[in-house]
Amino acid sequence: MASTNHTTVLLERWKSIGAFCLLGLVLSLIVSFVQPLKYSSTVRLLVLQDIGTSVDAYTASRSEERIAENLSNLVYTTTFFDAVINAGFSIDGKYFSEQDAKRRREWSRTVDTTVARGSGLMTVSAYHQDVAQAEQFARAVAFVLTQNASEYTSGSNVEVKVIDSPLNSRWPVKPNIPANAVAGIVLGGLVGAAFVLLEYEKIRRRHQLVHED
């Protein structure tokens, strides 16, 4: 019975919930547009390991996947960041703070890496307010990985190849305004529903106390 009453209350007070949804949307858009808009540049790499014919294809692919995951995690380190900055590309080093901790956070927000399950396919995305700079970062990361893969891995005969050159976004991709807007509406709706139900419970208990007296 209580659940039926609550459903009825929510339906009857949909305007109040809608107002919270609208408020959530507005707040999410404000937060989104306060942040700097960033473009992306994405490059895809393939990690290969020559381990001969002594192992089956499944084991070989899992080995390449593990190596790709290790390299993916390595991209976020200070050592790799220094290698990217010194790789000879047209990168604006002043974009990053001189403080180590802050520079690490900025670098972790500048690059993003993913590895396809069951393969050595790694995707590297770089983000920047200037799309040309985003591309330079993507190219620099790919260059360091292809040139120095053996230095960063414990396995032998490891090779990293660029299989897709950098692809730049035409429009800013960060922050993700549509996703933020949907999240704002959903969160606003949940808060609105909770508010409506709490108000309903307060009124119901007040009436109970009055009748008991």
Q: What is the pLDDT of residue 31?
A: 83
Which of 65, 21, 60 lies closest to 45 in space, CA to CA?
65
Range of the domain at 192: 2-34+175-212
Q: What is the pLDDT of residue 1?
A: 43
92 and 116 share one domain: yes
| C-beta of residue 22 within 8 angstroms of C-beta of residue 79 | no
- List the 121-128 sheet strands across, edge first: 111-115, 121-128, 39-49, 158-168
Q: What is the pLDDT along the chain (213 residues), one digit of tens a residue?
A: 444 577 888 888 888 889 999 999 899 888 878 778 899 999 999 998 876 666 677 677 788 889 999 999 999 999 999 999 999 999 988 889 889 899 999 999 999 999 999 889 999 999 999 999 999 999 999 999 999 888 887 656 889 999 999 999 999 898 877 888 899 899 999 998 999 888 888 887 877 776 665
Q: What is the pLDDT of residue 211?
A: 64
Q: What is the pLDDT of residue 180?
A: 85
Whole-angstrom Cα distance, residue 206 to residue 153? Answer: 69
111 and 208 share one domain: no
Number of domains in the chain: 2
Residue with tokens 């002594």: 54
Question: Residue type for 193, please?
Answer: A
Length of the chain: 213
135 and 202 share one domain: no
30 and 44 share one domain: no
9 and 61 share one domain: no
Domain holding 158: CATH number? 3.30.70.1130
